[in-house]
Structure 1
């Protein structure tokens, strides 16, 4: 694997060159040396690290980095078969309605794309809009399960498969329906979907700073498998 690589999709979407560092580096000085080797055209550089990085170290300050996320993977292995919860149906329209698009944006408010002010809210919202559209058209999801009540979509979970596991992509509950147990119901629905597809494990990746989501997954029987500190560096800013 190359020490770093240009990310074509991110670069096209954001409109400038975006790179990712692929190596785990032994400390801040090694990271600064790697950043100094990046192409002069690199505007944004991602660095996923197993360990925290002191971005205020003098050698790193000029690269204008910050901790954008703690990318946390939760996994549940002991899936229990049961009935699909009430109020859960598959969304089968060709395109998401406005309720689903708003839920997609709500699901990403703790994401690194939302937290990074240099990316900006327009690009963040556009990213999660694309994510939902490509879930509904089944490009990146196998199914879109919604919690419907009174003709309103109160919550959504998108499900698919990664690494030979069932995988949750987006999960969100409408603000006016929170605190009613809908998140737990959506997790139960994802679990039943996983079992129906023959999977024995269910995973979901979330932001470590998103405490409500982390609590939901832990209460649903998931445990942390991996946590990566995700840094954004802006050497040209």
Structure 2
């Protein structure tokens, strides 16, 4: 029988305590919910991530604080065309990210679920995403890293990861002062061209449901919204 959650090695190593991911939607089944949560207590899981198409009641367990972090809209688009890659976009080929790339990764992190979790300190969030971009450029967590440069400075970037025939961009950010200049579109087109060359037929992404500005940009680009999902963090009260 498949286990209803899995221990996440990278997250566990970083936080130095057990971190797990609960199988999507499984806690909607109230008959098995308590057994799953009790099993996580026995395994001393301090933090668990969970996504669900249904909203949970936040007082569902005496053992865990259940925090709704993001109401997320998954996005998907079939890749049809290969576009010329913008002349200011290139692959990041160094083994270690420079300071501007680290700062952009941290900017991306502050806007995501780790940055929005009040139980994760800002400096811890920044360290998570510093480690994330380090392990992206060395290809442990990403297939490619694309950067957009102005006068030799990285002002935008996107990491690309390919799994199960779908391409996604785990990290994506543009410097605030360069927003609205078409850099996001250029990076998305470049990412799609890279995926097309590698035989990947679908690109997926996501954004917060309340971020109407981002949703409009993605829709204009052709990404199709999927059924929204609620992202929760379960924090063990006893650890």
TM-score range, shorter chain: 0.7 to 0.9
- Asked whether the 8 Å contact 1:46–1:231 carries over to 2, the reply is yes
State the Cα deviation string for residues 8-55 of structure 1 (Å, max 9, x = none). Answer: 332221122223333613366864564244325332232222211121
Mapping of residues 55-134 of structure 1, within 5 Å:
55=58, 57=59, 59-60=60-61, 63-134=64-135
Compared CA separation, residues 45 and 161, structure 1 to 2 (3 A): closer
* Residues 1:44 and 2:40 are matched in the alignment: no
Which residue number in structure 1 is paired with residue 195 of structure 2? Answer: 194
Mapping of residues 154-233 of structure 1, within 5 Å:
154-233=155-234
Compared CA separation, residues 78 and 9, structure 1 to 2 (3 A): closer
Structure 1 stretches lacking a partner, 5+ long: none
Compared CA separation, residues 88 and 6, structure 1 to 2 (3 A): closer
Consecutive aligned runs of 4 or more in structure 1 exceeding 6 Å deviation:
none
Structure 2 stretches lacking a partner, 5+ long: none
Q: After superposing the two structures, state which structure 1 stretch, 98-107 or 125-134, moved more.
A: 125-134
CA deviation after TM superposition for structure 1 residue 199, in Å:
2.7
- Asked whether the 8 Å contact 2:79–2:196 carries over to 1, the reply is no
Compared CA separation, residues 102 and 35, structure 1 to 2 (3 A): same
Count of residues in correspondence between the two structures: 235
State the Cα deviation string for residues 140-179 of structure 1 (Å, max 9, x = none). Answer: 2222211111222111111231221232221110111112
CA RMSD of aligned residues (A): 2.5
TM-score (norm 1): 0.86
- Asked whether the 8 Å contact 1:69–1:209 carries over to 2, the reply is no
- Asked whether the 8 Å contact 1:28–1:53 carries over to 2, the reply is no
Which residue number in structure 2 is paired with residue 25 of structure 1? Answer: 27
- Asked whether the 8 Å contact 1:155–1:182 carries over to 2, the reply is yes
Q: Distance in 2 between matches of 1:141 and 1:92?
A: 13
- Asked whether the 8 Å contact 1:28–1:60 carries over to 2, the reply is no
Counterpart secondary structure, 2:64? coil
